[in-house]
Chains A and B, each alone.
Chain A
């Protein structure tokens, strides 16, 4: 019997010849990521009683969660991080002018096929879009990796998801992943590795694959994974000349489950309050009034997403009473969107262009909601209180659905305007 990607890469990284799902292994990661939580991790590290991190070159730290700092407390936190990276000679530091960690790491060439990446952030699953094994861990664990260069991981069972059919007009990768999460549930892939495959994935651009892997954690998955192909190699060639080895599941690998989806007749999908798996087709929630529309975050703030948004808004004005906030996921995306004239067009339509960062996704600043308000967002979470107010409601959708809805002031079926 062959091996899955998860089994093969964890065998390699643990130095064992072969491992099977369910086994617990000790591994040494290639990259360890933390963001604004680095100061808290540094305190935990100092409590261990060691002076220096073992491998400063493996540590990558972008600031993104609350940038620029909203209050004195956040500013002090950033200051402590800047001091720590100086002390520890950590060179891979990206200050507030860079972008969201999950966009920045691939852009800067840290994410390579066949690497093991751990991050103090649940959406670290994103890097599976490049064939890396990447997942979120806690702060104490990051501190302990800094000290020992080791961590234990359980080898996950693998679920393979085959996506077939032709993508209908108005349907985007976000709709596909919301549909899958709605179908399988918030714990549908708990502790599992999820491999996305099939013709739809092969045809999908890198940005779309990142959206799928980013949200794999919303069904409990340990990792998302897409087998690297020509598109992956091309994307990486433009950003890094580091060597890497592609690791793929064997053709006769043992999967726990193989699930097929045909998306040929999929409607735009909406995750309704207050869970990500509360997913409904747009026809069931169209007409819901919105106060705020958000384009951005590590799920959908890429150039592809901004292009779609500007194509829908071009020459039109957003509805009175709607606030449209646009957060490019990184400064690279921001600059490209400027070059293409996208940001200028969005401003003409009434959008507020914000600096790259997590923005209001986790309710810290820059567009928090008031009681009774509704936000339609391209983010990945809609939990109660997520955007700063427990009496507000957050709906999740594709950038196209968010853009069209901002024109009408209510949740709208994009397909009506395509005809």
Chain B
């Protein structure tokens, strides 16, 4: 999969309460969650961003609670991919499980600016900064994790796995 979008930069330790405040957790509707995405950090973020834009963040993105609402809100708001220096581990898993591609790269984060246009090859882990004309090779995710993301999430993956096992039996 090739993703193209412009960069929105965020600092270190963006926590899940900032991504989607707990006061909105009484809904699981992605569209409703998307409306409040990042609202305590930048109330206009959702309005300002375009569909397909990419979040580029510092260390420990998504720290805090185990709420899956956090990556769901970002994906539903139109974020196509997140590149961070590092991710909090539950957010990392949750993003994969709802089909939101994520990459870790210190270099990309340090060298890109807000508004830069990025192109991400999710299979090869190659990230191009089209504005700065630079290419970065990141560690691609293991194939079974890529499969979870490309199928749309863990539910779809499990459905496929269960079908496959039924056939094997």
B26 part of interface (Cβ distance < 8 Å): yes
Answer whether A140 and B153 are a contact pair too, CB < 8 Å, given A74-B26, A384-B17, A385-B21: yes
Answer whether A121 and B17 are a contact pair too, CB < 8 Å, given A43-B28, A147-B162: no
Digitize A175-192: 1 where CB-to-B-CB distance is under 8 Å, 0 elsewhere. Answer: 000000000001100110
Number of A positions contacting B (CB below 8 A): 44
Chain B residue numbers with a CB within 8 Å of A47 are 155
A385 to chain B, nearest CB (A): 5
Alpha-carbon separation in the docked complex, A77 to B28 (Å): 11
Answer whether A191 and B161 are a contact pair too, CB < 8 Å, given A120-B66, A143-B155: no
Alpha-carbon separation in the docked complex, A140 to B75 (Å): 15
Chain B residue numbers with a CB within 8 Å of A187 are 12-13, 59-60, 63, 86, 88
Chain B residue numbers with a CB within 8 Å of A74 are 26
Alpha-carbon separation in the docked complex, A339 to B132 (Å): 69
Interface size bracket, B side: 35 or more
Chain A residue numbers with a CB within 8 Å of B17 are 381, 383-386
Q: Is the CB of A384 within 8 A of B18?
A: yes
Describe A's contact surface by its main secondary structure: loop
Identify which of B47-55, B92-100, B111-119 touches chain A. B92-100
B126 part of interface (Cβ distance < 8 Å): no
Chain A residue numbers with a CB within 8 Å of B135 are none
Alpha-carbon separation in the docked complex, A362 to B158 (Å): 31
Identify which of A84-92, A131-139, A342-350 touches chain B. A131-139
Q: Is the CB of B68 within 8 A of A139?
A: yes
Q: Is the CB of A383 within 8 A of B64?
A: yes
Q: Is the CB of B22 within 8 A of A136?
A: no
Alpha-carbon separation in the docked complex, A73 to B25 (Å): 11
Q: Is the CB of B22 within 8 A of A275?
A: no
- Nearest CB in chain A to that of B165: its residue: A148
Q: Is the CB of B90 within 8 A of A136?
A: yes
Q: Is the CB of A122 within 8 A of B93?
A: no
Digitize B36-76: 1 where CB-to-A-CB distance is under 8 Å, 0 elsewhere. Answer: 00001000000000000000000110011110100000000
B154 part of interface (Cβ distance < 8 Å): yes
- Nearest CB in chain A to that of B94: its residue: A138
Answer whether A147 and B158 are a contact pair too, CB < 8 Å, given A363-B22, A384-B40: yes
Q: Which residues of B (137-165) have their CB < 8 Å from a CB of A?
A: 142, 144, 153-155, 158-159, 161-162
Chain A residue numbers with a CB within 8 Å of B23 are 363-364, 385, 388
A58 part of interface (Cβ distance < 8 Å): no
Chain B residue numbers with a CB within 8 Å of A388 are 22-23
- Nearest CB in chain B to that of A154: its residue: B89
A40 part of interface (Cβ distance < 8 Å): yes
| Residue from B12, B15, B97 within 8 A of A138 (CB atoms) | B97
| Residue from B22, B59, B158, B161 within 8 A of A386 (CB atoms) | B22
**Chain B contacts to A: CB under 8 angstroms:** 12-13, 15, 17-18, 21-23, 25-26, 28, 40, 59-60, 63-66, 68, 86, 88-90, 93-94, 97-98, 142, 144, 153-155, 158-159, 161-162
